[in-house]
Structure 1
Amino acid sequence: MTASPRPSSLPTDAILRHDPGRRDFTSDNCSGAHPEILSALLLANGGHQEAYGKDGYTTHLKDTFRRHFGPVAEAFPVFNGTGANVVALQAVTSRWGAVVCADRAHVNQEEGGGPEHVAGLKLLGVPSADGKIGPRAVEAVLRASADEHSARPQVLSLTQATELGTCYTPEEVRDLAVRAHAHDLAVHMDGARLANAAASLGVPLSACTADAGVDILSFGGTKNGLLFGECVVVLDPSRVSGVARLRKRTTQLASKMRFLSVQFEALLGGDLWQRNAAHANAMARLLGSLLAQVEGVKVVRPVEANAVFVIFSGAVLAPLSGRYDLRPDEKNRNEVRLMCSFDTTEEDVRDFAAAVARAADVREKDFLRP
């Protein structure tokens, strides 16, 4: 059999329309795909395979996920994170159900009303501390929704790592899950950055999910090196129903599913998930520590995963805006979220810190390599 040509040697009519050397900290979605993921996609590309998940890669994916999430885990690849959340939440709610989540949760603030529009769900956002829900907040919303005049809470949705870059410990998840189950609520986890949380905590992926009482998981891949794709992972089949049909009805069933599935095999078959996440976390810690030394910059959240939240003074922010895409959140003290990715380098971090120091008129010698 003739060897396949290298990707760079394949002819194409596409035109390079970006600067491959540009680095930014806007989002971990801005990075490309990890080379091992691209190699896996090429591996899966040859020949024909049956469509809609009947291929060899998707069939094998069950074993891959069970090594991380336990013997009953079932994985359902989908296109994106919002789709994963909408499918998962429908699978643990009735038509009259409501979702208890943090007020700053992604599902509540940044999914364009997807759960409401597609699934018809009521989202009950509760106050959170650095993005994390406390047990008292859950109890309070349950007391306020006791009769038919309010939507009935049927699921507690936790975000790991949170939208503010913090991480629930396994003990915190377990405590919340016990309380939720005591009130007959299922527990869903939006794990778009679960890998970052697990790497930060130094625990396996199961520690904050299956082992802690989570019933259904939206497992993220795109933010950790995949080209595209997430997975709905059923962890407790007794509390979940209809995922396969809901995935189809929610327009998340891929015809060429092998290209979704092979990416997760590459990510989870070895330690790529951990390597990517740990590196992104380490770059965030470095970034946070350097920026904390600059006058006119305040790091305002704990740096626990791959996010750094800062407030820049106006004098610092203005000269940076031309070079970097910085987006102050006007509703939250003009906080700027800085995200590190699997491909963020120490040089990227030090270059940015030096630019901040120059903008603040501070000596930059401590931020650059000698």
Structure 2
Amino acid sequence: MLIDAMYPKSFASDNHAGVHPDILEAMTTANQGDAPAYGDDTWTAAFAEKVKEVFGPEAEGFAVLNGAGANMVGLALTLARRYDAVICADSAHIATHEAGAAERLLGVKLMTVPTEAGKLRPSDIESRLGGLGNPHESQPAVVSISQVTELGTCYSPDEMAALAETAHAAGLRLHVDGARLANAAAHLGCDLKTITADAGVDVFSFGGTKNGALAAEAVVVLDPSLSGAVPFLRRQSLQLASKMRFISAQLTALLTDDLWHRNARHANQMATRLADGLADIPGVTLAHPVQSNAVFATLPHAVTETLRRRYLFHYWDETAGTVRWMTAFDTTPEHVDDFLDDLRKAAATHL
């Protein structure tokens, strides 16, 4: 379905938003003259230094093109053997929305675990460790979690630290799909380092595209023993951009003067405004806690279909009538209030 003038604002994904003006300005600045390719430029060097400033002196940042690519490079770093496996939630993006990339490209088995609200617990990790040392079974090598989860929920720093401790005690590493890491930190009221380096994470992706960037993601390595392989894996995974300066400039802009936080906090606030506005609408209930810029709601199909004639959004579970509404850095209070008004009208018509 194409977005055109009939859709006043998309609530389908924060990927649908445009580019933040500060990021466009950073790209314009990087567009002055020539520069060496493949990351041998001053903008990429500046990004590497900014990563150390934000995440700690041992952190190594590598710009990539997209989130799935960031996950594949990050996971590849942690998988040393052909029989390794990844423990993840059954709702994890790597298991549900990356077209089997992990299995096809990495040849890895995903050991999925049913979860509540998309969050793994230490006991979930332990439940998949029974085959360690058994030559008849794939061997868990890494735990992968999403922060924010696919259900819009967030791991607290203590929850992440507990997962890291459990993983490390079993000889596993902890990988984080951080496509919306900024939204998690904004919700938790902490900096990015608190839920990565300080929590015991080994490698993670830092998402920019969902937070105001054009096409900019990063793999950040916190375990120094892993970083040397990134340049080779990034190239092999087709994630090494020729004009890297334009990606690096975006990521540096996000990490400068807390732009990442301002964008994510605003998106989260708009989701909270939307969720709060549902309270007086009959037949509409929240399906999951609102802890980021995602609102999951369950409502009658007739109401949903009426609303979808004007707004772009998707079913999450069509059988149950659950939909997902996403807000972004450029969602305004007026966008939310207009959406709620139309939802009230649709509910009044069909209920």
TM norm. shorter chain > 0.5: yes
Deviations 1:143-193 (A, max 9, x none): 145412121110001100100000000000000100100011011000000
Aligned-residue CA RMSD (Å): 1.5
Question: What does residue 31 of structure 1 align with?
Answer: 17
CA–CA distance in 2 between the matches of 1:198 and 1:47?
36
CA–CA distance in 2 between the matches of 1:104 and 1:236?
26
Q: Which of these residues, 186, 201, 226, is aligned with residue 188 of structure 2? A: 201
Q: Which of these residues, 176, 185, 188, is aligned with residue 189 of structure 1? A: 176
Matched, 1:298 2:279: no
- 5+ residue gaps, structure 1: 1-16, 363-370
Alpha-carbon offset, residue 55 of structure 1: 0.5
Deviations 1:241-267 (A, max 9, x none): 511100000000000000000001111
CA–CA distance in 1 between the matches of 2:97 and 2:59?
28
- Retained in 1: the 8 A contact 2:13–2:313? no
Q: Which of these residues, 91, 97, 121, is aligned with residue 104 of structure 1? A: 91
Deviations 1:300-326 (A, max 9, x none): 100001000001112322311211223
Question: What does residue 63 of structure 2 align with?
Answer: 77
CA–CA distance in 1 between the matches of 2:131 and 2:322?
32
Of 325-334 and 149-158, deviating more is 325-334
Matched, 1:339 2:326: yes
- Retained in 1: the 8 A contact 2:6–2:310? no
Higher relative contact order (CA 8 A, sep 6+): 2
CA–CA distance in 2 between the matches of 1:43 and 1:115?
36
Q: Structure 1 pair 265/326, CA: closer, same or farther in 2 (3 Å)?
A: closer
Count of paired positions: 346
- Retained in 2: the 8 A contact 1:164–1:301? yes
Question: What does residue 315 of structure 1 align with?
Answer: 302
Alpha-carbon offset, residue 297 of structure 1: 0.7
Alpha-carbon offset, residue 49 of structure 1: 0.4
Q: Which of these residues, 24, 28, 32, is aligned with residue 46 of structure 1? A: 32
Question: What does residue 277 of structure 1 align with?
Answer: 264
What percentage of residue pairs aligned between the two structures are identical?
48
- Retained in 1: the 8 A contact 2:7–2:312? no
Question: What does residue 54 of structure 2 align with?
Answer: 68
Q: Structure 1 pair 204/20, CA: closer, same or farther in 2 (3 Å)?
A: farther
Alpha-carbon offset, residue 68 of structure 1: 1.2
- Retained in 1: the 8 A contact 2:164–2:200? yes
Alpha-carbon offset, residue 239 of structure 1: 4.8
Q: Which of these residues, 51, 58, 76, is aligned with residue 90 of structure 1? A: 76
- Retained in 2: the 8 A contact 1:131–1:163? yes
CA–CA distance in 1 between the matches of 2:210 and 2:269?
15
Q: Structure 1 pair 227/20, CA: closer, same or farther in 2 (3 Å)?
A: farther
- Retained in 1: the 8 A contact 2:26–2:253? yes
Amino acid at match of 2:22: E
Matched, 1:148 2:135: yes
Q: Structure 1 pair 332/238, CA: closer, same or farther in 2 (3 Å)?
A: farther
Alpha-carbon offset, residue 292 of structure 1: 2.7
Deviations 1:117-139 (A, max 9, x none): 11111111111110100111110
Deviations 1:204-239 (A, max 9, x none): 001111000000011100000000010000111135
TM-score normalised by L of structure 1:
0.91
- Retained in 1: the 8 A contact 2:295–2:324? yes
Question: What does residue 316 of structure 2 align with?
Answer: 329
Matched, 1:157 2:127: no
CA–CA distance in 1 between the matches of 2:24 and 2:7?
19
CA–CA distance in 2 between the matches of 1:41 and 1:22?
27
Amino acid at match of 1:44: A
Partner secondary structure for residue 212 of structure 1: coil
Matched, 1:258 2:245: yes
Alpha-carbon offset, residue 359 of structure 1: 0.5
Q: Once superposed, which parts of structure 1, at least 4 consecutive aligned residues long, lie more than 6 Å away?
A: none
- Retained in 2: the 8 A contact 1:76–1:231? yes
- Retained in 1: the 8 A contact 2:301–2:321? no
- Retained in 2: the 8 A contact 1:292–1:299? no
CA–CA distance in 2 between the matches of 1:329 and 1:278?
24
TM-score normalised by L of structure 2:
0.95
Q: Which of these residues, 349, 353, 358, is aligned with residue 345 of structure 2? A: 358
